[in-house]
Amino acid sequence: MNRGAIKEQPVVINPCKACQPIGAMYATLGIKHAVPLVQGSQGCSTFVRYQFNRHFREPANIAVTSFHEDAVVFGGRRNLIEGIINLVQHYHPEVIGVVTTCSSETIGDDIAAFIKEAKQRLTAEIGAEKAAKTFIVPLRTPSYSGSHVQGYDNGARQYLEQLAQESKPNQKLNIIPGMINPGDIAEIKHLMSAMGAANNMLFDISETLNAPLKMKNSFFPDGGTAAADLVDAANSLGTIALSRHAGGGAATYLLRKFNVPAVLGPFPVGIYNTDLFLEQAVKLTGQPVTAEIKRERGLLLDAMADTCTITALKKVAIFGDPDTVIGVARFASELGMELIAVGTTADSKEFYREIGLIAKEYNCAPQIVADGGLHKLEQVLLQNRVEMLIGNSNGAAIAKQADIPLVRIGFPVTDRVGYQRRPIVGYNGSLWLLDYIVNAFLERK
Amino acid sequence: MPLITMKCDELIPERGKHTYITDTENPVIPACNVTTIPGDMTERGCPFAGARGVVGGPIVDIIHMVHSPVGCAYYTWGSRRSLPDWYSWSGPNKLDNAAFNRRYCVTTDMEEKDVVFGGGTKLKKACIEAFKMFPEAKGLFMYTTCTSGLIGDDIPAVAKQVEKTVGKPVFFAQAPGCSGVSQSKGHHVLNHEFYRQIKALREKNPDLCMKEEEKTPYDINLIGDYNMDWDIKAIIPLFEQMGIRVVATFTGNERIENLIKMPDAKLNVVHCQRSAGYIAELINEHAGTTHLDVTLYGIVETSKALRDVGKHFGLEKQAEAVIEKETARIKESIAYYRSKLEGKTVALYVGAPRVWHWIHLMEELGMEIVAMACTFAHKDDYEKINAKAKSNILVIDNPNEFEVEEMLHDYKPDLFLCGLKEKYIARKMGVSTVNSHSYEKGPYADYFGFVNFARDIYQGFYAPVWNFVKNNPSEEVE
C-alpha cells in the first residue's frame, strides 16, 4: 500500500466530497415531519436541494435563513429567530434541524442562544403548548472542515444528544444507516423483519425520499423516523451504525451516555460483511437468522460461483464515501477482482486499516487516494489500465475518458435513473450489484 | 387589479406585496429584488451561483477556480447545461467534452486553518498549480464565496501576482453568497468586474484587440446567451445567413480571446437582459456601441429581433428573406402542435426574463397563461411582463414552496414550465412539467428551437401517465 502518495495539495480538482451541511440535511430529511433550516446564504440550501432532486428525483424541503449583507455585519441572530418563527407558524414541523454553514460559523453565531430566544418568542406568540410541539435542534456543521460524511455523523450525533432520553427498555435495535439509499434501508428492514427483530431505523429516508405519486394532503412526505423514536433510542437493545464514519459518532454517544451497546460497521455488502452484520444483529436481539435469509445467501453464493471466471483478476478502482468503499472493496475482492485504487473523502485511520486488511487477505496493493480528488484517481487509473470503475456519477467523465465501464453506486447518481431505489446491501443487494458488475463486463465482450 | 395576498400567506403579510394580478389598464409593480424573509421556503440561489454558475461558468477555455470550502465548488460542478464544444485533446476513445466549465471542479478547498490565517497564499499556490496541471488553459477565473469574502482575502492582489507568474490573464468576481438578495447580484458583479478587467487588459495589451483588417461592418456580440442545450446553434446561423458575424457570445460556449474582443463589435444584441444587460451598457458607455434588446423565442419575437437587427445594419431585405425561409420551414409543425395545445392552460416559473420572453410564444401555441412567477426579477422585468401579458394572470415574485403549491392547486394549469426543484413538487400534484431552465430536448431558441419546445410541451402534456394519475384510485385530495 502506498501511503506516501498522499500529501496536502494547494488545489483540489474534482473533489470526492461535498461539505458538512449536506450530510446534516440528509439525516434531517429522514425524520418525520422535519425541516432542515440552513443558517446561511440561499445557495447553501438551493444547491443542496438540487443535489437531492437530481439523485432522488423527489422534492426536498429545505428552508434557509437567507443571509444577506446585514447578517454578515450584525450576525445571524435576527435571521435565525425570524426563520424559526416563520417556519413553525407556516409549516408546523415536528423537528427543525438548524444546520450551520461556513458563513454562520465564521461570523461566530451563538446558535444555542438564538434558539433559546426564538423559543421564548414562540411561547409568547403561540402559547407554550403549541411551541413545545416543535423540537429545535442545533446542528453545528462548519463547511470548512471535514466532508459531507462528517456532516452526517455530526448531525446524527447532535440529534441524539439533544433528543435521546432514558426511560423503559424498548426491545428494539437501533440502526443508523449513514448516507445510503432508500433501497438500501428497505433491504436492511427486510432482513430485520425476516429475523423477527424489532428495529428502530433512525434517519430513515426510505419513504421520505422515495415517495409514490399520489395527491398529497400534507406538506411533508410520508415516512421518516418519528421524533419519539429518536427520544426512545436511548432505551434500545443496541445500536448498529452501518457506516462507521457516518453515524458512528451517534452510536458511540448512546453507548457512553446510556450504555446502549454499539456496533460500528461493517457496511454490509458481500458475504463476509453481511454475515458479520447478521451475527451482530443476532447477538444484540437474540433473534435467529432464518431459512429465508439463508436462501438469499445461497443465491448470492450460487451467482458468485456462476460468474467467478468473468470477474476473476479484473482490475478495479472504487471511490466514494469511506464505508461504502470499504464494503464494496471487500465484495469486489470476494468476486476475485484485483483492487488497484480506492478513493475516498476522508483521511481516516480506520479506512487505511480496513483497506489494509483487505489487501493482506486478498494479496493486492491498492493505492489509496484520499484528499487528492478524483483527478488524482484518474491519473492512477490511466497508468494502471484499470478495467472497471465503481463509484458515483462524478466518475462518469473519468470512465468515459479511460473507456471503461462505470458501475454506479452511492450518492449522487444523477445521470441514470433508479439506482437510489436498488439496494447494494444485504445478500439481495449484493446479488444485484454482482449482476450489474458482470453485465457491465459482458456488454463489452 | 391590485396586489393580492394568497391564502397561505396570511401569517406573512409582507408576501402580499410580492403578489399581484395583471391588469393591462392599471399595471402594478410588486416588491421585487428585495431581501428574502428568513425561513421562507424560497427557491432563490445566492450571488455566487449567479457569478460562477450562470454568467462566468460557460466560458470554456479557462480554469474556473472557486476559492471556498469544498461545497460551493462541488455543487456548481457540471450541473448547469451550458454546453461547450472545446476539444483540447480529443481523439479516438477520448472524451469529446474536455472544456473546463463542466468537466472540472477546481477549488482551494479552504479548511479551518485557512479561515483563521487567511487563504490568499493558498489561493495563489492553487492557481499556479492548476496552470501547471492544465497548460492548455487560456486563463483563469477566480470566484469568491461567503467564507473567502468574510475573511477578506485580497483577491485582486493574488490575481495580479498569478498573472505575473504565469503570463496568462486572471479574472475574478467577488460575489460571495451573502452579498446580495439573489443570484441576480452575482450576475451584476461579474458583468462589472469582468468588463473592467478586459478593458484594462486591452489597454495594457492592444494585441488582444481585434485588428482593423479583421473587422467587418457587420460584427455583433450576442450578449446574455449561455448556450443551454445548444441554443446558440439555433441562433448564430440566422445572423450568419443575414451576412452578420457574431464576434463573441457572452458567455455560452465562448473562448476568452473572443470575449476580450467584445468592444470591437458594431452592435450588441442582448438576449438575457437581466443577467447581461449590464455589460452591454458598460460597452456602450466606454466604446459607444449601441445595444438592441431582443427576444429569440417563438416566431413573432424572433422575427421582430431579426428585423430590428437588419434595420440597424441596413440589411432589411436579408432579414426578411431569412424570416420567410425559416417561418415557411416550421409553419406546418407549429400548426400541428397548436392544434393539439390550443386552449390548454399553462403556468410559467423561471428566473425572470424567460417569463416575458415566452408570453407571446405561448399565445402562438394557442395556450393560455394562468400564472407566472419569477425568482429574481427586478422592476424592469415586471414592466416587460405587464407590457406583454393579458389581464387576470397571477404573478408571484420570489415564490415560496407553499405559494407554488397553492398556485398549482387553485389555478390548475394543464402544464407547468419550471425548474428542477419545482418539477418534482408539481408532478406529485399530478401536473405535467417541462424543464424551462435547462430544457428537456433542446435547443428551444429561434425557429427550429421553437419546434423542439412545442414538441416537448406536447409530449409532456400528452404523456399517457397523466391519464392514470387523473384516475388514480388512491387519490386523497383534502
Confirm if A416 and A54 have CB atoms less than 8 A apart. no
Count of beta carbons in the 10 Å neighbourhood of residue B94: 15
Confirm if A34 and A95 have CB atoms less than 8 A apart. yes
Say how far apart CA B84 and CA B79 lie, in whole Å.
13
Does pLDDT of B29 surpass 50? Answer: yes
Does pLDDT of A5 surpass 50? Answer: no
Confirm if B73 and B66 have CB atoms less than 8 A apart. yes
Total residues found in chain A within this entry:
445
Does pLDDT of A15 surpass 60? Answer: yes
ipTM value, please give it: 0.94
Q: Are strands B394-397 and B19-21 parallel, antiparallel or unpaired?
A: antiparallel
Does pLDDT of A263 surpass 80? Answer: yes
Position B81 scores a pLDDT of 83
Position A181 scores a pLDDT of 97
Position A247 scores a pLDDT of 96
Indicate the pLDDT class of residue B84, thresholds 50, 70 and 90.
confident
Whether the bond between B251 and the residue before it is cis, its omega within 30 degrees of 0, is: yes
Provide the grid cell at B23: 391588469
Q: Which residue has the cell 496493493?
A: A365
Q: What is the CA radius of gyration of chain B?
A: 23
Q: Which of residues 399-438 of B touch A (CB under 8 A)?
A: 401-402, 405, 420-421, 424-425, 427-430
Residues 6+ apart with CB under 8 A from A133: A92, A94
Count of beta carbons in the 10 Å neighbourhood of residue B157: 11
Position B94 scores a pLDDT of 45
> pLDDT averaged over chain A?
94
DSSP state of B3: B
Exposed/middle/buried for A436, CB within 10 Å: 0-12, 13-18, 19+? middle
- How far is residue A2 from each of residues A319, A340, A371, A391, measured CA to CA in Å? 16, 11, 14, 21
Summarize pLDDT for A68-94 with one digit per residue, the tens. Answer: 988 888 899 999 999 999 999 989 999
Which H/E stretch holds residue B79?
none
Summarize pLDDT for B343-354 with one digit per residue, the tens. Answer: 999 999 999 999
Catalytic position from the list B46, B98, B173, B280? B46
Count of beta carbons in the 10 Å neighbourhood of residue B24: 12
Q: Per-residue pLDDT averaged across B221-236, rounded?
A: 93
Put simply, the answer to whether A47 touches B75 (Cβ < 8 Å) is yes
Q: Å from A80 to nearest chain B CA?
A: 7
Does pLDDT of A6 surpass 50? Answer: no
CA torsion B210-B215-B220-B226 (nearest 10°) is: -40
Does pLDDT of B32 surpass 80? Answer: yes
Summarize pLDDT for B318-327 with one digit per residue, the tens. Answer: 999 999 999 9
Does pLDDT of A4 surpass 60? Answer: no
Least confident of A5-19, B132-146, B372-386, B464-478: B464-478
- Dihedral sign (CA B91, B94, B97, B99): negative
Buried b (16+ CB within 10 A) or exposed e, A22-58: bbbbbbbbbbbbbbbbbbbbbbbbbbbbbbbbebbbb
Amino acid letter, residue A270: G
Indicate the pLDDT class of residue B477, thresholds 50, 70 and 90.
very low
Position A261 scores a pLDDT of 97
Does pLDDT of A435 surpass 60? Answer: yes
Say how far apart CA B465 and CA A256 lie, in whole Å.
52
Position A179 scores a pLDDT of 96
> Of A11, A12, A50, which has the smallest distance from its Cβ to B79's Cβ?
A50
Residue whose C-alpha is closest to residue A307's, from A208, A433, A409, A138: A433
Q: What is the CA radius of gyration of chain A?
A: 22
Which residues of A are less than 8 Å from B112 in CB distance?
142, 144-145
Indicate the pLDDT class of residue B1, thresholds 50, 70 and 90.
low
Residues 6+ apart with CB under 8 A from A347: A6, A370, A371
Catalytic position from the list B32, B49, B319, B454? B49
Put simply, the answer to whether B428 touches A87 (Cβ < 8 Å) is no
Position A177 scores a pLDDT of 97
Phi and psi at A408, nearest 5°, equal -85, 120
Q: Are strands A12-13 and B106-107 parallel, antiparallel or unpaired?
A: antiparallel
Q: Which residue has the cell 389555478?
A: B411
Position B10 scores a pLDDT of 85
Indicate the pLDDT class of residue B88, thresholds 50, 70 and 90.
very low
The full DSSP string for A142-167 is -TTSS-HHHHHHHHHHHHHHHH----
Position B473 scores a pLDDT of 59
Residue whose C-alpha is closest to residue B41's, from A418, A365, A46: A46
Does pLDDT of A297 surpass 70? Answer: yes
Give the up-direction half-sphere exposure of residue B313: CA atoms within 13 A in the CB hemisphere: 26
Position B478 scores a pLDDT of 41
Q: Which residue has the cell 469574502?
A: B149
User: In sequence order, which ranges of B64-140 are alpha helices (DSSP H)?
Assistant: 70-75, 100-103, 112-117, 120-133
Which residues of A are less than 8 Å from B40 in CB distance?
63, 66, 86
Q: Are strands A238-241 and A262-264 parallel, antiparallel or unpaired?
A: parallel
Say how far apart CA B257 and CA B211 lie, in whole Å.
13
Q: Per-residue pLDDT averaged across A392-397, rounded?
A: 92
The full DSSP string for A63-107 is EE----HHHHHH-SHHHHHHHHHHHHHHH--SEEEEEE-HHHHHH
Say how far apart CA A354 and CA A326 lie, in whole Å.
7
Residue whose C-alpha is closest to residue B50's, from B222, B173, B223: B173
Position B93 scores a pLDDT of 43
Position B302 scores a pLDDT of 96
Summarize pLDDT for B183-205 with one digit per residue, the tens. Answer: 999 999 999 999 999 999 999 99
B80: annotated active-site residue: yes
Does pLDDT of B235 surpass 60? Answer: yes
Least confident of A148-152, B114-118, B472-476: B472-476
**Most A CBs within 10 Å, among B5, B35, B44, B46, to test the A interface:** B46
> pLDDT averaged over chain B?
92
Say how far apart CA B289 and CA A326 lie, in whole Å.
60
Does pLDDT of A55 surpass 50? Answer: yes
Q: Which of residues 256-275 of B touch A (CB under 8 A)?
A: none
Residue whose C-alpha is closest to residue B398's, from B22, B83, B38, B33: B33
Does pLDDT of B271 surpass 80? Answer: yes
Confirm if B177 and A67 have CB atoms less than 8 A apart. yes
